[in-house]
Amino acid sequence: MSKKVRTAVFPVAGLGTRFLPATKAMPKEMLTVVDRPLIQYAVDEAREAGIEHFVFVTGRNKGVIEDHFDRQFELETTLKERGKTKALEELQADLPIAGQASFTRQQEPLGLGHAVWCARDIVGNEPFALLLPDMLIKATPGALKQMMKAYHQNSGNIIAVEEVDPNDVSSYGIVGRGAGEDEAFKIDQMVEKPTIKDAPSNLIISGRYILQPEIFELLGSHIKGAGGEIQITDAMQKLLKTQDFTGVKFDGKTFDCGSKIGFLTANVAYALDRDDIKGDFMSELLNILSAKK
């Protein structure tokens, strides 16, 4: 039986240069889709999948993320006094239970692989989930929950994958398809940001992983890859020699909120799904669109 995945790692140390000036003083993970920050969506998805411990790998200027997952007594008192019990309950439900969140710092921006390695002592010798908050996945059940099902069937390592336009492969980690079904198959290679010519497929790594702890030792060699950064994809490619990796094509829609288009369309899609605003939002949107024609 596969060992339970209790911990999730959230790398949130990135500089967010693609969203300047918005991200000059504010972490990119706090950008909001409707009224929830990106990092909250990732935490909600992890919690839904049964995660009990949330590990944030932060960096300088990321203190707000820690505050976001803390209680705010002044605010709570004001909401209570004003009788806004629903808002108060919702705020409290978003929080990890005391002791369920850990924060560590990546002191230098050396790449995603290095950020994950920074969490090694907190995660320990257990399988863990890794969620990149930039990749917002709208899915029911959530993408990680869907992956957990595959994990219990296949054990080993699980990677969420999806197809993209072949012209976009060089922006992502790409997997090669081995044996298996379309929805869950053995991965036979992984390469970070290949050229179109070198890409083994158009299946991207969608920012959700379930990994075995042996990855930490490989990350510890600190070998630089694509973009001069320590890449998690390179360490996974090495681990592939001794462990299975299963690619899971989840059912859902991904918004790459690391790009402006992804972020803006996420806002539209999530707003159109919200009972409290969708009617008004839709008519405003239609007005804007018809004025543009």
State the number of binding residues for ligand G1P (CB under 6 A). Answer: 14
Cis peptide bond prior to 141, omega within 30° of 0: yes
Interaxial angle between packed helices 278-292 and 260-271, expressed in degrees from 0 to 180 and rounded to the nearest 10: 130
Q: Does 59 sit near ligand G1P (CB under 6 A)?
A: no
Q: Pattern 172-201, binding to ligand G1P, x per CB under 6 A?
A: xx------------------x---------
Pairing of strands 128-131, 7-11: parallel
Cβ nearer to ligand G1P, comparing 156 with 173: 173
- Report helix, strand or coil for 255: strand
Q: Does 45 sit near ligand G1P (CB under 6 A)?
A: no
CA separation for the pair 230, 207 (Å, rounded): 16
Least spacing, CB of residue 236 vs ligand G1P, in Å: 9
- Exposure string of 86-106, with b = 16+ CB inside 10 Å and e = fewer, is eebeeeeeeebeeeebbbbeb
Q: In the complex, which residue's CB is closest to ligand G1P?
A: 173
CA separation for the pair 139, 45 (Å, rounded): 9
| Phi, psi dihedrals of residue 240, rounded to the nearest 5° | -60, -20
Least spacing, CB of residue 167 vs ligand G1P, in Å: 15
Q: Does 132 sit near ligand G1P (CB under 6 A)?
A: yes
Least spacing, CB of residue 232 vs ligand G1P, in Å: 6
Residues 49, 272, 204, 58, Cα dihedral to 10°: -60
Q: Pattern 249-268, binding to ligand G1P, x per CB under 6 A?
A: ---------x----------
Q: Pattern 137-176, binding to ligand G1P, x per CB under 6 A?
A: -----------------------------------xx---
For binding to ligand G1P (CB under 6 A), which residues are involved?
A: 112, 132, 134-135, 172-173, 192, 204-205, 207, 231-233, 258
